[in-house]
Structure 1
Amino acid sequence: METRTAAARRAGPAGPPAGGRQAWTTTWLLLAFMLVNFADKAVLGLAGPEIMKEFGLSRQEFGMAQAAFFSLFSLSALAVSFLTRKVRTSVLLLAMGLLWSATQLPMLWGAAGFGTLIATRVLLGIAEGPSAPVAVHHVHGWFEQRERTLPTAILMVGAAAGVAVAAPTLGAVISHFGWRWAFGAAGIAGLLWAAVWAVKGKGGPLAPPVGREARAADAGSGAAEVPLRAVFLSGTFITAALGAFAAYWVMSAKLTWLPDYLRTVVGWDLGQAGAAVGGAAVANGVVLLAHGLLARRAALRGTGGRLPEGAGAGLLLVASAGAVTVFATADALWIKIPMMFGPMAIALVMITAAQTAIARITPPSQRGVVLGALVAVFALGGVVSPLVLGRIVDSAASATSGYENGWLVTAALLLITGMLAALFMRPERDARRLGVPEGPVTGVPVSH
């Protein structure tokens, strides 16, 4: 494995070394970026009962509002990811932070109704769709391939931390100031992040050049571009995307329906539900961080697991399917509630594993595009999950039986996709077949 000194030599005199202090500063800034991102997503679920009551909505109609967020999410993720070859990622990240903050603020207007809510959620989805692939692409410009799992996991921890912070904080805002100010608080937080990023955000020494130099840089480093069709049809991409789709389905279902489930079926109040959702989000973060630390430790030692790479993440989806089944069917709260704190959360490891696996099988100049395509596929879980679960609950004889059926559908999806990933997600094998070396030199240092 390349030493830190060698990495510094590769960075050259024009910029900081890969994996150094600036790399981790950037990682923490992007952790905050993802935190605000997922706080934005959590607002709707936390304010759901109040919104449904004020606007007279059924659960299926409310599910439309959450699905509206994801209606152009995937298309935006893919479109903006193509821009990573022409526009610096630091600029794209700043633009997204400003745009998604601006879309939250109209709900402060007292006359803003359900139509405004739908419109702003669509615009928010457009602004946030590319956030994960662009952030991951940006942070990968600061780290070597073998060291990328931990910073990628930290970015995904931002998703969990965003919900953990948002659940009690925005719950308190809703209780004291009304649900509209929850949207306003999320928008203000995004504007504050954008102000810091405008000053501190920089690109890494391993970031591929943008513009016409991107193709030449890969060719000069021995990492020539490969046909995108070959990447998309590989077993690794297909099963990673399906597994991440199932993991994102779970995350979206919990964001949208878990607060209502805990209040309607379990009988908790807003404070208890918010605390439980926040605690479950902390558990999500612990799981993701533990996975990243274990992966980093194995990479630094030059050792791997006993299972083929990719199989472990697939088996975690299978285990999560069992946890969701127990959560759905158990009557005793002492059995049901602990399932949220870890056992259900391990599905999210697939989102990190999928992104690092896809980065492995893709040349650097194409990485942003392929990560965008991955997000475009798995984010569809955010569109389908709220609608499907909302329809299942509304069509059942009671909310209790409807939610049980919805969680069991979720468990089946986790089981099937987990088995496929365990069998066919093999990034090292597919990288060799596609001719993508493990550690290509990715271009000259940049300071964007």
Structure 2
Amino acid sequence: MRIAGPKERPGPGTQAPGAWPAARLLLLFMVVNFADKAVLGLAGPEIMNELGLSRGQFGSAQAAFFALFSLSAIGVSLLTRRIRSTVLLLAMALAWSAAQLPMLWPTAGLGVLIATRVLLGAAEGPAAPVAAHHLYGWFAQRDRTLPTAVLLVGAAAGVALAAPALTWVIAAWGWRWAFGSVGLAGLGWALVWALRAREGPLAPPVADPAGTVEHDAGPPLARILTSPSVLAAGFACFAVYWHISAQLTWVPDYLHTALGWSPGATGLAVAAGSLANAAVLLTHGLLARRASARRGRPGLLPEGSGAGLLMLGAAAALAVFVAGPPWLKLPMMCGPIALSAPMMTVGQTACARIAPAHRRGAVLGIVVGLSSVGAVVSPLVLGRIVDGATGAAAGYERAWLLTAALLAFAGVLVAALLRPDRDAHRLGVPGEEAT
């Protein structure tokens, strides 16, 4: 885990040996991470039936996952100045894997479910920002969009793989083993990471216990976090987290209850939607890399791609859940509704561009921690909207109308405020300084 000195740093447009193997390991990390998140939604109908839960109670269990998610994302990300990201990622994987296993106990009920979801959320909260911080230790600023997209593809792939696989596990062995299987998968990844992980040559040095590592002063953390670009990216990611959490929690129940789909068909539809997310993220990343190579600077203007895709995602959500006839719902779920997903790539790369390397982990963690509040609120609010409606179909229409409005407003903010190059210049952070 030795950190390379300045003479070993790769130049712009190049990657150090081991960069893409590290990205592939982190891709698998995110696959397991989002399989962990998806398991509750996929097993939702069986859990509600066996434990006798209302949708409001079930939404509370899903929201419990995010009870410490934000605080943990912020707190652990601040530790990246003192503890190497390889160690932090290993500890997270071990903790979240262990948190799944108590649900195998036959008498574990709502209390255990909530407690384990709180622990799981605390372990998984810092996953995305710390993984991105580790990844950026391997890739220079201008080359980050594609590997960031690959990292986030793991989220979509985790759901895509989990949906049919966990549906089969639930049918064959019961919903409790769905929790057990993702816990075992996490332990397997942790073993491989412990054997193969190392820091990248662009990773900033960590402080010793006395905190004596010297860094350029750079702008204060508060000035970075209150810059227009970070505020716009944070709210946009809030809207996307809201959207993702709503999909993971309520789309299986919507398809099963409101549309009458079978569990098998529901699992395949969720998987298809997640594959669409992955395809959109990869396409956006590849286009950004081409633009970067052509122009010699970071590609696809965030304010252009992020704002436009958020607007299109909002329109697709309306078409699917409010105005769309049944024959249109599945094609729209497997394509246009995924268009808001690249905002996560845009948001992370924009914030990393503004932050000096020694503040990058903290900035990413704080932005993720605060924006992920959307994932906390979404299951609670939408569950109560559906419970309070005259029928499930009408309730879901109202819930997704609200979701579409959030995405559209986020698109307006991104178009108006997200200018990372301008804000980096104003803060005195040169381009490649934001590594």
- Same fold, TM exceeding 0.5? yes
1:395 aligns with 2:388: yes
Alignment match of 1:47 (pick from 39, 43, 51) = 43
For the residue of structure 2 that corresponds to 1:95, the secondary structure is helix
Match of 1:253?
246
1:270 aligns with 2:263: yes
For the residue of structure 1 that corresponds to 2:18, the secondary structure is helix
Residue 336 to residue 243, structure 1, CA distance change in 2 (3 Å): same
Q: In structure 1, what is the Cα distance between the partners aligned to 2:54 and 2:304? A: 41
- 1:19 is displaced (CA, Å) by 1.3
Q: In structure 1, what is the Cα distance between the partners aligned to 2:335 and 2:371? A: 22
Q: In structure 1, what is the Cα distance between the partners aligned to 2:224 and 2:281? A: 26
Mapping 1:12-411, distance limit 5 Å? 19-211=15-207, 218-219=215-216, 224-302=217-295, 308-411=301-404
Q: In structure 2, what is the Cα distance between the partners aligned to 1:420 and 1:215? A: 40
Q: In structure 2, what is the Cα distance between the partners aligned to 1:393 and 1:336? A: 19
Q: In structure 1, what is the Cα distance between the partners aligned to 2:9 and 2:73? A: 32
Given that 1:18 and 1:205 are in contact with CA atoms closer than 8 Å, whether structure 2 keeps it comes out as no
Given that 1:215 and 1:365 are in contact with CA atoms closer than 8 Å, whether structure 2 keeps it comes out as no
Q: In structure 1, what is the Cα distance between the partners aligned to 2:179 and 2:93? A: 15
Q: In structure 2, what is the Cα distance between the partners aligned to 1:441 and 1:375? A: 18
Mapping 1:412-427, distance limit 5 Å? 412-427=405-420
Q: In structure 1, what is the Cα distance between the partners aligned to 2:434 and 2:304? A: 29
Deviations, residues 171-210 of structure 1 (Å, cap 9, x unaligned): 0000000000000000000000000000111110000000
Amino acid at match of 2:52: G
Q: In structure 1, what is the Cα distance between the partners aligned to 2:238 and 2:153? A: 18
Q: In structure 2, what is the Cα distance between the partners aligned to 1:378 and 1:339? A: 26
Given that 2:205 and 2:213 are in contact with CA atoms closer than 8 Å, whether structure 1 keeps it comes out as no
- 1:9 is displaced (CA, Å) by 8.0
Given that 1:72 and 1:126 are in contact with CA atoms closer than 8 Å, whether structure 2 keeps it comes out as yes
Amino acid at match of 2:34: F
Backbone CA RMSD of aligned residues = 2.0
Deviations, residues 409-442 of structure 1 (Å, cap 9, x unaligned): 0001111111111110000000000011111397
Deviations, residues 293-315 of structure 1 (Å, cap 9, x unaligned): 11111112226799854232012
Alignment match of 1:11 (pick from 8, 13, 36) = 8
Q: In structure 2, what is the Cα distance between the partners aligned to 1:103 and 1:250? A: 25
Listed as ranges, the gaps of 5+ residues in structure 1 are: 1-6, 443-448
For the residue of structure 1 that corresponds to 2:66, the secondary structure is helix
Q: In structure 1, what is the Cα distance between the partners aligned to 2:351 and 2:196? A: 28
Q: In structure 1, what is the Cα distance between the partners aligned to 2:263 and 2:7? A: 53
Q: In structure 2, what is the Cα distance between the partners aligned to 1:430 and 1:246? A: 22
Amino acid at match of 1:393: V
Deviations, residues 92-124 of structure 1 (Å, cap 9, x unaligned): 000000000000001001011110000000000
Q: In structure 2, what is the Cα distance between the partners aligned to 1:12 and 1:190? A: 32
For these two proteins, the number of residue pairs brought into alignment is 429
31-40 or 244-253, larger mean C-alpha shift: 244-253
For the residue of structure 2 that corresponds to 1:36, the secondary structure is helix
Given that 1:239 and 1:417 are in contact with CA atoms closer than 8 Å, whether structure 2 keeps it comes out as yes
Deviations, residues 12-71 of structure 1 (Å, cap 9, x unaligned): 69xxx9613401000000000000000000000000000000111110110001100001
For the residue of structure 2 that corresponds to 1:439, the secondary structure is helix
For the residue of structure 1 that corresponds to 2:82, the secondary structure is coil
Percent identical residues: 57
Amino acid at match of 1:437: P
Amino acid at match of 2:254: Y
| TM-score of the two chains, using structure 2 as the length reference | 0.95
| TM-score of the two chains, using structure 1 as the length reference | 0.92
Residue 118 to residue 412, structure 1, CA distance change in 2 (3 Å): same
Given that 1:18 and 1:142 are in contact with CA atoms closer than 8 Å, whether structure 2 keeps it comes out as no
- 1:371 is displaced (CA, Å) by 0.2
Listed as ranges, the gaps of 5+ residues in structure 2 are: none
For the residue of structure 2 that corresponds to 1:203, the secondary structure is coil
Deviations, residues 111-141 of structure 1 (Å, cap 9, x unaligned): 1111000000000000000000000000000
Residue 400 to residue 197, structure 1, CA distance change in 2 (3 Å): same
